[in-house]
Structure formats: C-alpha cells, structure tokens
Amino acid sequence: MRACTESVEQGLYTRPAYTLSREDSEHPLILVCEHASRFIPPALNDLGLNADAARQHIAWDIGALALAERLSETLGATLLAANYSRLLIDLNRPRHAPDSIPPQSEIYQVPGNQQLDEATREHRRQMLFKPFHTRLQTLIDERVAQGRPVRVVGIHSFTPVYYGQQRPLEAGVLFGEARQYAQNVLDGLARHPLKVAGNQPYKIDPLGDMTVPVHGDARGLQALLIEVRNDLLRTPENIDRWAGYLAPLL
C-alpha cells in the first residue's frame, strides 16, 4: 500500500456528486437514489472491469433512477440522485463499512478498488460521499426547522439472479423503525398480483446501511428503502406501472 497524502485520483471527479430535482417541493417525501448511476471517470478504466461487467448491477441499480424520476414527477417530490457508480464508493453504506469501496462485488473482482491507499479512499469520501449526505442532511434540517413533515424513501433495484440463485420476489420494502409506514406500503402493493415482502431481499442493518438508519431512524423520521427486481424496470411501460403502484403509497 502506497504511503501518500495526495490521491492519484485528484482532478478526476469533475461532475457534481449528485443531481437535485424539485428542491423546493412542498411534498413531505424526499426521494433518494444512491445507486442511480454507473458513471466511472474514463481515466479509471472501469476500475479494471470488462465492459459487460461495468454495465451490470454491481455498478448501479438498473432502472432505479428512471423509477425515482417518474415518482418525483408524479408526486412533485424532491429527488436526490447520485451521479457516480456505487463501485467508487457506496452511498448507502457507512464510510467505514467493509464494502464501502468494494474490492469484490458478488462474483466480480474489482481490481481498481484493491490495495487502495487511504489518501484515495478519503478523496472519494470527500468528493462523492460527503457532498451527497451533507446535502440530504441539509434538506431534512431545513424542513424540520420549518415544522414540516418529512419522509425519506430510497429507490433501489435488485438483480433477479444472485450468486446463481433465482429470486422470485418482485419487490421488497426495507425498514427499521418505520414499521407502520412499511406495512402500509406492503398492504398497498399486496392489492396487486405482486410477490412482495418486508425486509427482503435484504434487511436494514445500522452497521451496513446509511439512508434509513442515519437520515431516518436516528432522527425519528419515517424512512424506507424500496427494492424492485430490475428485470421489471427495463421498459418505460414497466417504469410507469411501478410508479403507479408506489406513488399513492409513499
């Protein structure tokens, strides 16, 4: 591991860390899409992945941004969306989680994340992680100070095959403290012919998750993550369908 105080990635992160839409919305919902983008600066050569792997679910949540944008448009709600790949640094992980900057994701080795020096890790935190979460915190702070209700919902997708195993689940609602909010969403989705479940295919873990435990539960706010299987988000018609399912429930 190199001993240095300046990252070799200085100057690469020229895009803003996030895109903020409908900042001044009066809707209580703040939508978050932490895995919206698969963009990696060209100089990093897709972190050593081949072109196919760099387009797969390990790099982003396929369809999640399109769904989040449609929900934001339908509800007139604020949306905060990441502009860089989760492989550079995962915005839904605490800074020091083992998979914050993953050296391997599912079956894929990520050579460009292996043997990183601490200066480069910290550079990614400062350029990508900190601006995103500072902006989300500020959005919430401003609304709480105004006495407005706030709900935080992350929009995600998951792969239909994980480590070779098929996943029949179509959607999950992940929650910690916001049990009633989650149950209301689950009950609403269950009125359609959908395979849905609470805290599936993942569970909220304060040691491994960021949005719900930090920006929601720790502040006493209602907060959820919505997970939709990504093969169900591949067409505009399916995006419309899922936005139609979710918008009245959020």
Q: What is the pLDDT of residues 167-216, one digit of tens each?
A: 899 999 999 999 999 999 999 999 998 999 999 999 999 989 999 999 99
Nearest to 229 by CA among 14, 97, 63, 93: 63
Determine the Cα–Cα distance for residues 48 and 106; give it in Å rounded to an integer.
15
Q: Are 17 and 84 in contact (CB under 8 A)?
A: yes
| pLDDT value at residue 162 | 78
Angle between helices 64-75 and 236-246 in degrees, nearest 10 = 50
Buried b (16+ CB within 10 A) or exposed e, 53-83: bbebbbbbbbbbbbbbbbbbeebebbbbbbb
Q: What ranges in 102-156 are assigned the alpha helix state H?
A: 118-124, 130-145
The three-state secondary structure class of 49 is coil
In the block, tokens 């369908």 appear at: 241
Q: Which residues pair with 29 in a beta bridge?
A: 151
What pLDDT digit, counting tens, does each position of 145-165 carry?
999 999 999 999 999 987 778
Determine the Cα–Cα distance for residues 73 and 22; give it in Å rounded to an integer.
9
Determine the Cα–Cα distance for residues 246 and 226; give it in Å rounded to an integer.
9
Share of the chain above pLDDT 90, in %: 88
pLDDT classification of 6: cutoffs 50, 70, 90: confident
76: left (phi over 0), alpha (psi -120 to 50) or beta: left
Mean pLDDT estimate for the chain? 95
* Cβ atoms < 10 Å from Cβ of 163: 7
Classify domain 18-249 at the CATH topology level. Answer: Aminopeptidase (3.40.630)
Output the CA angle 154-160-164, nearest 5 degrees. 130
pLDDT at 144 over 80: yes
Tokens of 123: 């550079």
| pLDDT value at residue 3 | 45
DSSP state for residue 222 in the 8-state scheme: E
DSSP state for residue 2 in the 8-state scheme: -
pLDDT at 226 over 80: yes
